[in-house]
Amino acid sequence: MKLKLPQVTVSRLALYLRVLEKLSRQGQELIRSEELAERCGVSAAQLRKDLSLVGAFGVRGVGYQVRALEKEIKRILGRDRIWHLALGGLNELGRALLAEERLARRGFRFVAAFDWREEWIGQVIQEVFVYSLEQLPYLVKESDLEIGVITLAGKEAELMAEKMYQAGIKALLNLGPDPLELKAEGLLIHNADFTVAFDLLAFELTHH
């Protein structure tokens, strides 16, 4: 319960897991740190050190059992279970998330969606029902919604965040443009503006 890892290590573990899942589907049973690291774009030492922070899963002189390592990393990341997600905001981004196979396949399951717009309420998108915000508290309890995923901007994002918090959601992933200002006791908030990836590329292209 108290495991502390550098955030970069956690995100690399997520990366390793993606590759392991793929190898596993392809039926590969064994992999060496060097090969796995190469596939993930990190050094072998880095990979082994990351793994050593959470346990010793390999066999000296041999390598790692793909399935066993996959299972271990899943457990460590909390990916050995189903997470119930609530979508806040039925814009293009929100609809793309509902359609994301990566999330569905990995146990991140959108159970309900919420919006203010009359045109969306009552619709079913990718098998997910769109509710009005009045129904939020009831559904959080009833469907055990844990993570709220926000795609809205500005005041709408802020209001959605508050409503979700009041309804009993434990964590918010904000994929919208504006960092959430809400500070709420016991609520875990991650602001994750994916468009930063474009700035990184622009920077590197600009400075060789």
Partner DNA sequence: TACTGTGAAATATTTCACAGCA
Partner DNA sequence: TGCTGTGAAATATTTCACAGTA
26 sits near its own copies (criterion: CB under 8 A): no
Does position 19 interact with its own copies (CB under 8 A)? The reply is: yes
Nearer to DNA, 25 or 60 (CB): 60
Given its own copies, DNA, none, residue 32, with its beta carbon under 5 to 8 Å by kind, binds DNA
Backbone angles phi, psi at 14, to 5 degrees: -60, -35
Q: Which of these, 42, 72, 44, lies nearest to 56 by C-alpha position? A: 72
Q: How far is the CB of 116 from its own copies (least distance, A)?
A: 18
Distance CA 73, CA 62 (A): 19
Q: Which residue has the tokens 């793309």?
A: 96
Position 195 contacts its own copies (CB under 8 A): yes
Indicate which single residue of 60, 78, 127, 185 sits in contact with its own copies (rule: CB under 8 A).
Answer: 78
- Residue 186 Cβ vs DNA, minimum distance, rounded to whole Å: 22
Task: Report residue 142 as tokens.
Answer: 């009833």
14 versus 59: smaller Cβ distance to DNA: 59
CB of 134 to its own copies, least distance (A): 26
CA distance 129 to 111: 8
Nearer to its own copies, 135 or 178 (CB): 178
Stretch of 43-51, 55-63, 159-167, 170-178 contacting its own copies, by CB under 8 A: 170-178
Instruction: Give the contacts of 60 (CB within 8 A, at least 6 positions apart).
Output: none
- Residues of span 57-76 touching its own copies by CB under 8 A: 76
Q: Which residues bind its own copies (CB under 8 A)?
A: 1-5, 7, 10-11, 13-15, 17-19, 22, 39-41, 76-79, 83, 91-93, 95-96, 99-103, 106, 108, 146-147, 170-171, 173, 175, 177-179, 188, 190-208
